[in-house]
Chain A
């Protein structure tokens, strides 16, 4: 998985163009992970009467 997007300047040198859009899935997945972990803890807390 790439972390950055790259391009070239007029002299052929590599320049950073931005974030790799592979990370879009990571950001989305991290958000969903927080939701899932909290939802599971909440469910377990209810079952144990906490």
Chain B
């Protein structure tokens, strides 16, 4: 791990911090453009929605590349041993709730992207010929249902994620997502630094 010193550890490299904040911004655009019209705030939502969706897709592809090429997949992988935290064991780089949040976001975002990319054919975007007859009406309905469920899941996850990110005792996680480093002392309260150093 680069940029480590006696007092601090590198927790998030710059490309991963950029991924996080661009993804967060696109998520707010996606939720705003899809849900504000539903609560009565009407505007031309479709173009910013699909543009943000494509940015999100690009960011997820970038994240997958980073995860495989540069990051330690083992550190974020949810394992049976992680549940030892419920009995007081300290985790490595990511805690059980953090891994759970990652899995939840992964499901919600991948469902939203997979269904959203197909729904663009029905909605019509400049680089695709609109074809609402590509699929049966009930299939479009099922895709929309899954896309909607992903949106509702994202609403729930945004609230929970932002709340825990802003808690004073979790502030070092937020700071590390802004600056990259986290102090060893702050991390040691809830994490096993030996495991962190081993890349677990």
Give A residues with C-beta under 8 Å from B: 4, 7, 9-10, 15-19, 21, 23-24, 26-28, 30-32, 34-35, 38, 42
Residue of B35, B158, B163, B164 contacting most chain A CB atoms (<10 Å): B163
Q: Which of A9, A16, A27 contacts B152 (CB 8 A)?
A: A27
* C-alpha spacing A16/B163, complex, angstroms: 34
Asked if B145 contacts A18 (CB within 8 A), the reply is: yes
Q: List 24 A-B contacts (CB under 8 A).
A: A4-B145, A7-B141, A9-B137, A9-B138, A10-B137, A15-B137, A15-B141, A16-B141, A16-B145, A18-B141, A18-B144, A24-B35, A24-B152, A26-B152, A27-B152, A27-B155, A28-B155, A31-B155, A31-B156, A31-B159, A34-B156, A34-B160, A38-B163, A42-B167
A-B CB pair tally, cutoff 8 Å: 58
A33 to chain B, nearest CB (A): 10
In this complex, the interface size class of chain B, counting residues with CB under 8 Å from chain A, is 20 to 34
Asked if B38 contacts A17 (CB within 8 A), the reply is: no
* C-alpha spacing A34/B155, complex, angstroms: 13
Interface of A (DSSP majority class): helix
A24-B155, A32-B159 given; A19·B137 CB < 8 A: no
- 18 new A-B contacts at CB < 8 Å, known A16-B145, A18-B147, A24-B152: A4-B145, A7-B137, A9-B137, A9-B138, A16-B138, A17-B145, A19-B148, A21-B38, A27-B155, A28-B156, A30-B156, A31-B156, A31-B157, A31-B158, A34-B156, A34-B160, A34-B163, A35-B160
> Is the C-beta of B149 less than 8 angstroms from some C-beta in chain A?
yes
